[in-house]
Amino acid sequence: MKTEERLFSVVIPAYNYAESLPRALESVLQQPGNDYEVLIVDDGSTDDTSAVIERLKALYPARFNAVSRENSGPAAVRNYGITNTTGDWLIFLDADDELMPDALAELRRFIVEHESVRLIVGGHMVADTDGSERYRGVKVLPADPEARLAGYLLKKTITPSNGATAMHRSIFQRCLYPEQFRNSEDIPVFAYALTNFESAALDKPINRIYKHADSLRHNLIYADDIGTRLVEEVFREDHIPAHLQKYKRVYAGQRCLSLFRTFYLAGQKEAALKYYREALRYDWRALFKFSYTKKAIRLLVA
């Protein structure tokens, strides 16, 4: 692959997805045009990922770059991808997902028509384990950065997804992925980008996400390890302006309610109640979110 600058850099983090990695890579290599580069980062996989990469190199010589590293987590892999690619726009495509056939063409057109935009939030297809599929679109993003931050963190009306989101390289000059987190590492970066850079929605399916049961977002160990430390990372003073720090406690309360639900569904009573109490400490109005309060009462009387 040539080292000249490209419009797009597609980074594919790969950890134990040997079976689906060829699908992800081929979905990129089949995109029309020659203005993109592809980098696969094998994050210390213990399955056949390295052998699969070698076979793919033989099938597609000089079409992509690949590197193997000691396992360090998705944040470190993405930061490596940022440092070791040259494209103006970065797309982080999970190894178990795929780009839609016209993804880069849609993004090219959008970039030309919106020269000042630096974050493009696209839609995506969701493929469920039962074989069904649905489109998850995106709404027009508010012009006001405060409204975007609140829409993303609190109202959940803005839902950027890796693989469906294109991020201009300038975003990462002052903000990288927090490598101390093994999941939820994208939340601080999306919050920073939506607050500090012009952002827009592209209501077209950019990628297809395959749902599966072993997603890290369901890993209780990582969820409890991160806990509310995520709130501090999101609201770093060098990332979120002072006049928007007012949302910190409300977001902390919501974060605790989310963790409460996670542990409640997992049957972890003590952990669930711990986070419910923390939610009330951050924002007493959580008491009036009755779906959560009813669950907490059930745990208390069980």
User: How does residue 224 score in pLDDT terms, banded at 50, 70 and 90?
Assistant: confident
User: How does residue 131 score in pLDDT terms, banded at 50, 70 and 90?
Assistant: confident
Q: What are phi and psi of 11, to 5 degrees?
A: -105, 125
pLDDT of residue 218: 53
Q: What is the pLDDT of residues 175-201, one digit of tens each?
A: 999 999 988 999 999 999 999 999 999
Residue 118 to residues 191, 197, 281, Cα–Cα distance (Å): 13, 6, 37
pLDDT of residue 4: 54
CA–CA–CA angle 130, 134, 138 (5° rounding): 145
Q: How far apart are CA 239 and CA 232, in angstroms?
A: 11
pLDDT of residue 217: 46
Q: What is the pLDDT of residues 86-96, one digit of tens each?
A: 999 999 999 99
| Percent of the chain at pLDDT exceeding 90 | 91
Residue 91 to residues 12, 32, 37, 103, 212, Cα–Cα distance (Å): 9, 16, 10, 11, 21
Q: Please tell me the pTM assigned to this model.
A: 0.93
Q: How far apart are CA 161 and CA 183, in angstroms?
A: 14
- Secondary structure percentages of the chain, helix, strand, coil, to 5: 45, 20, 35
Q: What are phi and psi of 273, to 5 degrees?
A: -65, -35
Query: Of all helices (H) and strands (E), which one includes residue 274?
Result: helix 269-282
